[in-house]
Amino acid sequence: MAKATTAILLAAGEGKRMVSKKQKVMHNLCGRPMLGWVMRSVQQHITERPIVVLGFDGESVKDYFGKDCTYAYQQNVPGNRVDALRAGMSAVNADTGYVLVMAGNMPLITDRTVAALVEAAKGFSASRLICFSDDEDTLISPAYCFEISVLRECLKMDASDIESYVSCLRKKNMAVVDVYAPYIEGMEIADREDLWCCNAILRREINASLMRKGVTFIDPESAYIDADVRIGMDTVIYPDVYMSGRTVIGEGCRIYNGCRFDNTVVGDNCDMQAVVAIDAVVDDGARVGPYVRLRPNTHIGKNCKIGNFVEIKNSTIGEKTSVAHLTYVGDSDVGSHVNMGCGTVFVNYDGFEKHRCKVGDNVFLGCQTALVAPVTVGDDVYTAAGSVITEDIPAGTLAIARTRQENKEGWVAKYRAIKKKEK
C-alpha cells in the first residue's frame, strides 16, 4: 500500500458561523472532535506525524492531540488556505515524497478515499478529490495529495486557494489525477446545522455496524452510541439510550430506556434500566435500576441487584448483594450476599473529609440503618431497623442502636382534653 510522507491538516480557521468560543475542528461528533475523524482516516497512510496548522484557539487542539501531531501556526489569521498551507509546509522537512493536504473539518472522508488519493498521486504531480451525488452534483473538496517538490514550487506563486495550483499544474501539462468519492465525504462543517447533519450520518453508520455484529436496536434512530463504544452480540438496546467514551457492554444484555453510560464496563447478561453510570464497572448477571446512579470508581459484583432509587459512589459491592431501595452507598467496601434494607445510608462525610466503611459477607442491614464512617461491620451481622451505627460490629452480632420504645397508655385522650380546654 502506497504511503505519503506526511499530511497537512488545515485547522486555523475561527469558524464564525459556528457561533462558538470553541475552535471549529474541536466540536464533537459521536465522541470525537471533527479533526479526530480526519486524523483517523489519514494516519495509516503517512509515514510521519501529521502536521496540524493552527490559528484561532490552537492551544485547545494541542491539549487534546498532544504529541500525536506536529504543529504549525498560520501567522496572518484569518488569511486563507494557501496561507495555512504555507505554514504547514514550513514544518515539512522532506524534499521528496508526497504530502496529503486536507481541511480539518471534513469528518466524513474515509480511510478508503484517503488511500485512493495517495495511490493516485504516485508517479504524477498531484491528485485531488472530487465528490459527486446521485443527482449529478459535484463538489471539488479541499483534499489533495501533492508531490512535495511540486508543491514547494507552487507555493512560490501568489494564489488565494489551493485549487489555483491544480489549474496551474495542468496548464504546464503536469498530470493531476482526479479521485472520485460520494458527496458526503467532501462535506465541510461550517455551522451547527452541518454539525448535526454529519453527526446523524456517523451515528447511523455506528449503529448499522453494531447491528452487523449482532446487536439489536429497538429504534436505532433514538440510540446515541459514540464511536469508541463496544457492544457484544445478542445485546438489545432500547430507545433513548446514550453511551459515550470507552464504554464496553457485554453479550446478552438488555439496556432499557433512560440509560446513560460514560467510560463504563458492563459484563454479560446484565439488565440495566434507567441507569446513569460514569467510570463504573458492572459484572456479569447484575440487575441494575430503575433510577440508579453509579458514580466514578464504583464496582458492582456478579449477580447483584441494585435499585430502585440508589446512588453508589467510589465503592465496591460484592457478588449477589442486594441494594434494592432508596439507598446511598459512598466510599465503602461491601461484601458478598449482603442485604441492605430500604433507606440504608452510608454516612461518609464529616463536613471536612470523606471516610470509608467496610461491610463483611452475609450481612443483613435493617431498614433505615445509618453507618457513620469510619466503621467496620463483620461477617454474618444483623442490624436492627432504624439503627445509627457509630462503632465497629463484631462478626455474628445483632447490633441495635436506637432508643427503646415506650408506650404510654391513655396519653392521647389526656392530650386531646388539654387542647380542647385551651380553646
Range of the domain at 130: 6-186
**Do 318 and 393 lie in a common domain?**
yes
| Number of domains into which the chain is organized | 2
**83 domain-assigned:** yes
Domain holding 337: CATH number?
A: 2.160.10.10
CB contact at 8 A, 206 and 30 = yes
**Do 289 and 140 lie in a common domain?**
no
**199 domain-assigned:** no
**Do 151 and 252 lie in a common domain?**
no
Predicted confidence at residue 78, as pLDDT, reads 74
**Do 168 and 226 lie in a common domain?**
no
Active site residue 299: no
**37 domain-assigned:** yes
Domain holding 92: CATH number?
A: 3.90.550.10
**Do 33 and 136 lie in a common domain?**
yes
- Cross-strand partners of 181: 131
Predicted confidence at residue 213, as pLDDT, reads 98
The position carrying cell 451525488 is 133
**pLDDT per residue over 153-176, tens digit each?**
999 988 888 999 998 899 888 999
**Do 168 and 85 lie in a common domain?**
yes
**Do 66 and 178 lie in a common domain?**
yes
**Do 292 and 354 lie in a common domain?**
yes
Marked catalytic residue, from 299, 325, 337, 355: 325
3-state secondary structure 38-64: HHHHHHHHECCCCEEEECCCHHHHHHH
**422 domain-assigned:** no
**411 domain-assigned:** no
**Do 242 and 388 lie in a common domain?**
yes
**374 domain-assigned:** yes
**171 domain-assigned:** yes
As a 3-state breakdown, the chain gives helix, strand, coil percent values, each rounded to 5, of 25, 30, 45
Cα 317 to Cα 361: distance, rounded to the nearest angstrom: 10
**Do 311 and 364 lie in a common domain?**
yes
**pLDDT per residue over 345-388, tens digit each?**
999 999 999 999 999 999 999 999 999 999 999 999 999 999 99
**120 domain-assigned:** yes
Cα 238 to Cα 260: distance, rounded to the nearest angstrom: 12
**Do 290 and 349 lie in a common domain?**
yes
**Do 161 and 232 lie in a common domain?**
no
What would the grid cell of residue 419 be? 387542647
List, in order, residues 6 or more apart from 404 with CB less than 8 Å away: none
Instruction: Cis check for the bond before 207: say yes or no (omega within 30 of 0).
Output: no
Q: Quick check: pTM over 0.85?
A: yes
pLDDT of 343 above 90: yes
For the ranges 10-14, 23-27, 386-390, which has the lowest average pLDDT?
10-14
